[in-house]
């Protein structure tokens, strides 16, 4: 059974390790939530904060593949890129993530899709950064707004189809 309930997005900043963990439940089965993260035509519809557009230059979603996209808002434009280290359909994505204006600021991300039954999924995304300064800059960048607004849009996309 699928409902259109907006869930809270939990963002945890670890005090002992330079990582950020995001936990979010969706009223959709893991295969739909996974596809929304691995199909660029769907991903561009919800990625980032409201009012921003995502345009993919490359998106080769396979173990060993890579991606690069431009995010554009009213008064800002930025490029992001990464590599897919492991893709396990409907269960896990392990990738790097980098904002190109900070070339040394590469994060290692693990996104897990947990089947909660009844057509529901818990997503847990863990981003490990190379330093506490890098992690704190990641948080200060406004990523929280982009994550929450993006996942709220994803709720609507998942409910629609």
In tens, the pLDDT along 68-106 reads: 999 999 999 999 999 999 999 999 999 999 999 988 889
3-state secondary structure of 136: helix
Q: What is the pLDDT of residue 139?
A: 87
Question: pTM to 2 decimals?
Answer: 0.93
Judged against a pLDDT cut of 90, whether residue 5 lies above it is answered with: no
Contact yes or no for 113/92 (Cβ under 8 A): yes
Rounded distance between C-alpha atoms, residue 57 and residue 83, angstroms: 14
Mean pLDDT of the chain: 93
Query: Which tokens go with 89?
Result: 């359909």
Q: Where are the domains of the chain?
A: 21-160
Rounded distance between C-alpha atoms, residue 20 and residue 97, angstroms: 13
The CA-to-CA distance between both ends of the chain, in Å, stands at 13
Rounded distance between C-alpha atoms, residue 80 and residue 138, angstroms: 13
Under 8 Å CB-to-CB from 21, ≥6 apart: which residues?
10, 11, 12, 14, 124, 125, 126, 127
Pick the CATH number of 21-160 from 3.40.50.2000, 1.10.3720.10, 3.30.530.20, 3.40.50.720: 3.30.530.20
Residue 38 Rama label (left phi>0; alpha psi -120 to 50; beta)? alpha
Place of tokens 């991300």: 109
């Amino acid at each position: 059974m699928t409902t259109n309930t907006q869930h809270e997005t939990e963002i945890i900043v670890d005090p002992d390790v330079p990582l950020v963990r995001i936990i979010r439940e969706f009223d959709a089965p893991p295969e739909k939530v996974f596809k929304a993260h691995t199909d660029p035509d769907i991903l561009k519809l919800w990625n980032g904060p409201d009012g921003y557009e995502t345009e993919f230059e490359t998106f080769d979603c396979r173990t060993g593949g890579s991606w690069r996209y431009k995010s554009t808002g009213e008064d800002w434009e930025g490029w992001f890129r990464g590599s897919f280290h492991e893709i396990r359909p409907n269960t896990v994505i392990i990738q790097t993530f980098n904002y190109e204006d900070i070339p040394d600021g590469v994060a290692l991300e693990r996104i897990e899709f947990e089947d909660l039954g009844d057509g529901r999924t818990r997503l847990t995304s863990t981003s490990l950064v190379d330093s506490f300064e890098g992690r704190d800059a990641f948080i200060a960048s406004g990523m929280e707004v982009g994550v929450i607004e993006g996942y709220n849009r994803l709720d609507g996309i998942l409910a629609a189809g």
